Chain A
């Protein structure tokens, strides 16, 4: 069974950092592009970042470019999102999801709250 499990969410102060992880199982992780997508009550769903199966050339939404970094460790079936210089508007549930275009499998999400 395909499973994606996010972790690392929590409370961070504005300007602070958090590192999210997504651990995959039930499929050949290094065959798939991966994504981070976030959801807020007010802004809905927002694609955040994509990374190729090899880990090269991550892509980012303009709203996080220069602050967030996506990486992966295929040996450990893991995806990461390093979030720096956090802002209140980064408060959201963060999901990892498979797919190069549309998003086939999703994790359950991890909640990030940015507040002083």
Chain B
């Protein structure tokens, strides 16, 4: 299975900050990577797919980049509503696997 490792595990930032979360794959996932946001008591919500494509309805302050084994999620201009846990997920190779999550505190 492809192991997905996110860093940092927790991130504290202020409103308006630019924050970056990294996701590393144990083997190449090409660009088959998605990012999700999860708030307490809620299901995850997809933000980015195919490494850099913004899901419909997601604010443009979210962006993704990367290829192969290293990927990043960037939030430009952090908002109070962005307080959540963020997960990456590879879908290059079955079984699909997730990172362990990054909690963003504002």
Contact = CB atoms under 8 A, between A and B. Distances in A.
Interface of A: 44-47, 59, 61-62, 95, 97, 101-104, 106-109
Contacts of B44: 45, 95, 103, 106
Given A44-B87, A45-B87, A104 B97 contact: no
Contact of B46 (A46, A103, A108, A109): A103
Contacts of A61: 95
Nearest to B98: A45
Given A104-B46, A108-B43, A47 B98 contact: yes
A72 to B, nearest CB: 19
A44 B46 contact: no
B45 interface: yes
B43 A107 contact: yes
Interface of B: 32, 34, 36, 42-46, 49, 55, 87, 89, 91, 94-101
25 contacts: A44-B99, A45-B98, A47-B96, A47-B97, A59-B94, A61-B95, A62-B95, A95-B44, A101-B32, A101-B91, A101-B96, A102-B34, A102-B49, A102-B89, A102-B91, A103-B36, A103-B44, A103-B46, A103-B89, A104-B46, A106-B44, A106-B45, A107-B43, A108-B42, A109-B43
Contacts of A104: 46, 55
Majority SS of interface residues in chain B? Answer: loop
Contacts of B100: 44
Contacts of B98: 44-47
A106 B89 CA distance: 15
A12 to B, nearest CB: 22
Nearest to A101: B91
Nearest to B45: A106
Nearest to A93: B43
Given A45-B87, A47-B95, 8 more contacts: A44-B101, A62-B95, A95-B44, A101-B34, A102-B89, A103-B36, A103-B44, A108-B42
Nearest to A43: B100
Contacts of A109: 43
